[in-house]
Amino acid sequence: MGLENLQYEEGQTPLDPDEKDRLLIPTVSTRGELDEVEQRSIEETIRWTLERRKRFTVAEILSEQFVMELHKRMYGEVWEWAGRFRNTNKNIGVDKYQIGIELRTLLDDCRYWIENKTFPEDEISVRFKHRIVSIHCFPNGNGRHSRLIADVIIEKVFGKPVFTWGSQNLIRKSAFRSSYLAALRDADNGSIKPLIAFARS
């Protein structure tokens, strides 16, 4: 058993063999089973954020500890490395040794954006999402993690409804996933508006 033949959709980050070996549920052997157990854990984390959101402060949310705890809650029942920065380089993201530095810079930047109203509220949240997924802090799950943390920022910091992200499953290949990846590529090239529009679609 195991995940030796795990298939990846366009835009997904392949796991290294050692990372695959850190699966905590040995009966999982297919992409469908993996998606299912991860989704259950993510739904529990969303419930936790809904219960806790009113008590979160900006300082708590914009901290390395919160970034790591959120990922740990999302994937901790599935992966041993959940909530820990990756120690391998990937096809996306900064060098593994730069993760902590780049994340701290992003957290500082976001505090500045909020304090100075540098951008509209949706844009601040989506810019944070785009930057953190570009850093790619963790071995996997960065896209879902970045979307959830953007939801926490927009609701807790700004008191606005969470994003809908197309109201579709963005894990599986679909027209919605293609639109999402296209919006991410636009953001990579300096145009954030398509990603903001997608977040509210």
Burial class (CB in 10 A: 0-12, 13-18, 19+), 35: middle
Say if 52 falls within a structural domain: yes
Say if 59 falls within a structural domain: yes
pLDDT for the residue 53: 55
Domain count across the chain? 1
Provide the token pair at 43.
């739904």
The rounded distance, in Å, linking the Cα atoms of 156 and 160 is: 8
The rounded distance, in Å, linking the Cα atoms of 6 and 78 is: 15
CATH number at residue 142: 1.10.3290.10
Say if 181 falls within a structural domain: no
Say if 138 falls within a structural domain: yes
Per-residue 3-state assignment (H helix, E strand, C coil) for 39-79: HHHHHHHHHHHHHHHHHCCHHHHCCHHHHHHHHHHHHCCCE
Return per-residue pLDDT of the chain as tens, 201 residues: 455 555 656 656 778 888 988 999 988 888 888 889 999 999 999 988 888 756 789 999 999 999 999 999 999 999 999 999 999 999 899 999 999 999 999 999 999 999 999 999 999 999 999 999 999 999 999 999 999 999 999 999 999 999 999 877 666 667 888 899 999 999 999 999 999 999 999
Structural domain that includes position 25:
17-162
Say if 39 falls within a structural domain: yes
Q: For the chain, where are the alpha helices, taking DSSP H only?
A: 17-20, 31-52, 58-61, 64-75, 99-116, 121-135, 142-152, 175-188, 193-199
Residue 136: closest CA among 13, 37, 48, 18: 13
pLDDT for the residue 174: 76
Say if 65 falls within a structural domain: yes
pLDDT for the residue 165: 92
Say if 100 falls within a structural domain: yes
All residues at 6 or more sequence positions from 168 whose CB lies less than 8 Å from its CB, including other chains: 174, 176, 177
Say if 63 falls within a structural domain: yes
Q: How far is CA 121 from the centre of its chain?
A: 19
Residue 144: closest CA among 21, 58, 45, 24: 45
